[in-house]
């Protein structure tokens, strides 16, 4: 059973990819509904899988600091706002951007679940400060955050909060300014 750890990680990776691809299906349908082009489901699905892949790379390159992932939220908010405003009601566009922001946080959330689960299965204590410091969690963090579970929980919650606020906020501003500019031209 010396390969059990590798098999477990491979299984979790495959499950992660299945969830990522599976969550892209309803969001691709939602994009088709908002844009009025429901026959372009496969195009939107591929775009979302590309976004998922880019988010995975951004998370890895940022080494769990979320710098690149949050930066992508700024870019994604602008792109979504300029692309979707005026195509549907503001409520539908904001709902779509909210779900896309949640979807783009999925790689970070899945990694933040994967690490504590792997550590727990390997017999380590995920609520131990000593184990967390050996793993690389900064020692200056306050008590719930200086454990493996607390640290990765904070990364997941922080990423979801920042990305959804940034993306939907930018889309909202672009919708508002688009309506204001259209009102000024009349």
CB count, 10 Å around CB of 17?
A: 14
Tokens 């700024």, residue located: 74
Query: 186: number of CA atoms within 13 Å, CB side?
Result: 6
pLDDT, one tens digit per residue, over 117-135 is: 888 888 888 999 998 888 8
Q: Is 42 exposed, middle or buried (0-12, 13-18, 19+ CB in 10 A)?
A: exposed
The whole-number pLDDT of residue 43 equals 92
The whole-number pLDDT of residue 64 equals 64
Structure tokens at 121: 């299965």
Mean pLDDT for back-to-back runs of 10 residues, the chain (186 residues):
71 83 93 87 92 86 79 92 88 94 90 86 88 86 88 91 95 85 59
Question: How long a stretch of residues is the chain?
Answer: 186
Predicted TM-score (pTM) of this structure:
0.85
CB count, 10 Å around CB of 18?
A: 10
Contact present, 106 and 52 (Cβ < 8 Å): yes
The whole-number pLDDT of residue 78 equals 93
- Domain ranges (residues) in the chain: 4-185
């Amino acid at each position: 059973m010396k390969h059990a750890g590798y098999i477990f990680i491979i299984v979790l990776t495959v499950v992660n990819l299945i969830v990522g691809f599976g969550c892209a299906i309803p969001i691709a349908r939602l994009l088709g509904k908002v844009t009025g082009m429901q026959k372009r489901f496969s195009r939107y699905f591929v775009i979302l899988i590309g976004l998922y892949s880019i988010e995975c790379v951004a998370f890895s390159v940022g080494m769990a600091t979320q710098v690149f992932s949050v930066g992508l939220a700024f870019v994604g908010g602008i792109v979504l706002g300029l692309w979707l405003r005026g195509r549907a009601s503001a409520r539908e566009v904001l709902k779509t951007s909210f779900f896309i922001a949640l979807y783009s946080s999925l790689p970070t959330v899945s990694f933040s679940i994967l690490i504590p689960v792997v550590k727990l299965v390997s017999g380590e204590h995920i609520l131990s400060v000593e184990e967390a410091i050996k793993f690389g969690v900064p020692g200056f963090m306050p008590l719930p955050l200086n454990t493996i579970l607390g640290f990765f929980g904070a990364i997941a919650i922080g990423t979801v909060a920042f990305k959804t606020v940034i993306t939907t906020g930018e889309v909202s501003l672009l919708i508002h300014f688009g309506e204001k500019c259209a009102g000024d031209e009349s």
